[in-house]
Chains A and B, each alone.
Chain A
């Protein structure tokens, strides 16, 4: 073949590729979540025929738009169950379009900020579900959420506060839909090889032998990590002692990951033998090798945080959104989180293994729940946080941890190494010393106020960061 022909061949090939690429471009690919062989369907179909005079397949379909970081197991089960529920109750089936913007609460929040940035009154999305209570408090504060109707039954079954954590917004802008605890996961053989005792409490994580062995999460990126750090502080009698304890854990860090989920992978990958993580996540990871990987909920030191749901400002399908919220918070919808496959009101394909937020559900469905689902209201391992202190300190603690540990990791570790070697009490006192502007609870309130202003916040955090760096370097010398 001579070269001109080959060149022509090439050109034709490239052109053809371009044409195909462009032609197939705008043609979308349909791929909606298909209901598997759902044993509920035949029963529901009968009910629907009786009530609405036609079969399930002939009912009109409504569309609901939701934004959520939840995985496909959860979204599928809820979409199927809600659609059937809605068909029986209202005579229409529902398609839920799940939007995912690649990340948890902070990704959703910054996405919504960009969407509402130009003064838009609607995001085109109805429901926001999942992402941490702090994120929802922030969304509520930014006026992105609309108040919901919550029935007395729901209000009675979900405490406004539990263990010091807000479970639902008093203004009904959001409401928790599930709860999760926070503990740690460790790799037993590696700890044995290192000669470290298996930890059972947060205090165990402050041990010198734990130095450099814990994979932690950055509290400014992970709400559950932030909640956990607050718990550690609260488990001590006062603020300076609590901070010293927290710093004891923080300075044992191998590294700070961007999310609690990323940190949870460390023990299995071998990057660090211990990692903090959310309970259901830890349980799932440990299931790969139960003899080697262990998840621990530290007794009396675990606070549960809610996984909230809310309706977005300018929801295009406001009524349907309310019905979805009602369904999720109904006893039936709650049971879906915890039941095994095949149970009545349980999931069809995958057990979800999450803890419902309604107290009553644990009694109503006690039989069919997955074994690893524990009733947080009975477990007796929750601790009560000082609500006011916590609320004020929340933002301050996150930024303080970031300045002291996340952004100063190398210097902090160097200082801690010296502390372990010398066991010098003077150095330890210096190590635990707080910046002047946050060393009392009163100061913290003042700082919390100032942190709300970005200019002040940047100045304060930069100053802290320098403060800690200089302090650590002084100790290491």
Chain B
């Protein structure tokens, strides 16, 4: 297992147009054994970055280190990474066993040992009964697991996963998340995992790098980037957020922010100076909904609003509420209250606790 160090990596596909950068000056370090996520919308450069780590795409500038080795100019077959492709790229003309044994075979591992390795990883992914099958004869989830087994069998220095769950149906995807994390963690591999699904990243990652437009916006643990998004893009991309601009009226243990919809309280350690204009971000599930008019409390602000719409989703309800300044916020109501959510047109108060207000 090796760490991954990326310095100033830039990818320009057409040198004649140096401003169109697929990846723009990215630097980051992935620790040994870490499960590291590259998260971002499609086209943000995360797959290009992953392919550069694998050696399938050549960077235009910058260096890539695996452990102590500078692999920037090393060809793909000599890097000892293993990539799980988005469409799995299982070889249709080979059986499951042949697919999985391919990596060890290329390393010159003897047949008996290859078989043993393949058996071991296939049992890790619970596919040991399918060795004689062809990929066509497997379901999507089974193919995904074989692809993972194939990568693991190569015993790579680092494991690279390119949206491995995106082709699975929703239920299977949910189920596979924890399973996949457990699997990767059990092998102790350093892993880089590319996805556009923030829930996948949140639930599986040790750390996440949020990317946009070829650049890294923020790196941190899931909790970090969710609770303290560095900017509006990150906040917006990681789950939903209600945004409102305001002016800092008072600083201290609790920062008071005057907004067009009313006063907000925020508990921030290094808040901006009084008078500064800020954007507040409040997650829908952090808003508590109260019927009728309710007064603000010391630790929570109260914003009057009207319910304008709602969707009942069983375990929760998602409401949209119009504030005093005509901004529309999303509010999530969980548990029993979901069934008792106020009807359209009801006057309500949105309670926002100070610790849930993030300035972005």
Contacts and interface: CB of A to CB of B under 8 A. Distances in A.
User: Do A and B touch each other in the complex, judged by CB within 8 A?
Assistant: yes
Interface in A1-33: 2-4, 7
Interface string A47-67: 000000000000000000000
A2 B95 contact: yes
A7 B94 CA distance: 10
A7 B95 contact: no
Nearest to A7: B93
Contacts of B93: 3-4, 7
B202 to A, nearest CB: 42
B134 interface: yes
Contacts of A2: 95, 132
Interface in A288-311: none
Nearest to A2: B95
A9 to B, nearest CB: 13
Interface string A98-124: 000000000000000000000000000
Nearest to A6: B93
A3 B94 CA distance: 7
A4 B95 CA distance: 8
A1 to B, nearest CB: 12
Contacts of A3: 93-95, 134
DSSP class of B's interface residues: helix, strand, loop or mixed? loop
B98 interface: yes
Nearest to B132: A2
B214 to A, nearest CB: 42
A316 B356 CA distance: 106
Nearest to A4: B98
A457 to B, nearest CB: 54
Contacts of B132: 2
Nearest to B97: A4
Contacts of B134: 3
A7 to B, nearest CB: 7
Interface string B90-103: 00011100100000
Interface in B81-117: 93-95, 98
A2 B95 CA distance: 9
A7 B98 CA distance: 13
Contacts of B94: 3-4
A245 B241 CA distance: 102
A121 to B, nearest CB: 57
A279 B13 CA distance: 76
B360 to A, nearest CB: 56
Interface string B319-333: 000000000000000
Nearest to B94: A4
A7 B93 CA distance: 9
A14 to B, nearest CB: 15
Nearest to A3: B93
Nearest to B92: A3
Interface in B113-139: 132, 134
A4 B94 CA distance: 6
B134 to A, nearest CB: 7
B58 to A, nearest CB: 32
A7 B95 CA distance: 12
B331 to A, nearest CB: 57
B172 to A, nearest CB: 28
B150 to A, nearest CB: 15
Contacts of A7: 93
A3 to B, nearest CB: 6
A2 to B, nearest CB: 6
A22 to B, nearest CB: 27
B293 to A, nearest CB: 73
Contacts of B95: 2-4
B296 to A, nearest CB: 72
A460 B91 CA distance: 67
B76 to A, nearest CB: 24
Interface string A178-194: 00000000000000000
Contacts of B98: 4
A260 to B, nearest CB: 58
Interface string B264-275: 000000000000
A4 to B, nearest CB: 6
Contacts of A4: 93-95, 98
A4 B131 CA distance: 13
B95 to A, nearest CB: 6
A7 B134 CA distance: 14
A393 B94 CA distance: 76
A3 B98 CA distance: 11
Nearest to B98: A4
A2 B134 CA distance: 10
A427 to B, nearest CB: 70
B101 to A, nearest CB: 11
A10 to B, nearest CB: 11
B98 to A, nearest CB: 6
Nearest to B134: A3
Interface in A138-191: none
A105 to B, nearest CB: 57
A133 to B, nearest CB: 66
A383 B134 CA distance: 85
Interface string B329-353: 0000000000000000000000000
B253 to A, nearest CB: 70
A2 B94 CA distance: 9
Interface in B131-151: 132, 134
A3 B132 CA distance: 10
A3 B137 CA distance: 14
B92 to A, nearest CB: 9
Interface string B5-20: 0000000000000000
A265 B104 CA distance: 69
Nearest to B93: A3
A3 B95 CA distance: 8
A2 B93 CA distance: 10
Interface string A203-243: 00000000000000000000000000000000000000000
A183 to B, nearest CB: 68
A120 B94 CA distance: 60
A208 B72 CA distance: 87
A2 B97 CA distance: 12
A11 to B, nearest CB: 12
A67 B99 CA distance: 62
A4 B133 CA distance: 12
B135 to A, nearest CB: 11
A265 B348 CA distance: 105
A326 to B, nearest CB: 71
A3 B92 CA distance: 10
Interface of A: 2-4, 7
Interface of B: 93-95, 98, 132, 134
Given A3-B93, A3-B94, A4-B95, 7 more contacts: A2-B95, A2-B132, A3-B95, A3-B134, A4-B93, A4-B98, A7-B93
11 contacts: A2-B95, A2-B132, A3-B93, A3-B94, A3-B95, A3-B134, A4-B93, A4-B94, A4-B95, A4-B98, A7-B93
The 6 closest A-B pairs by CB, nearest first: A4-B98, A3-B93, A4-B94, A2-B95, A7-B93, A4-B95
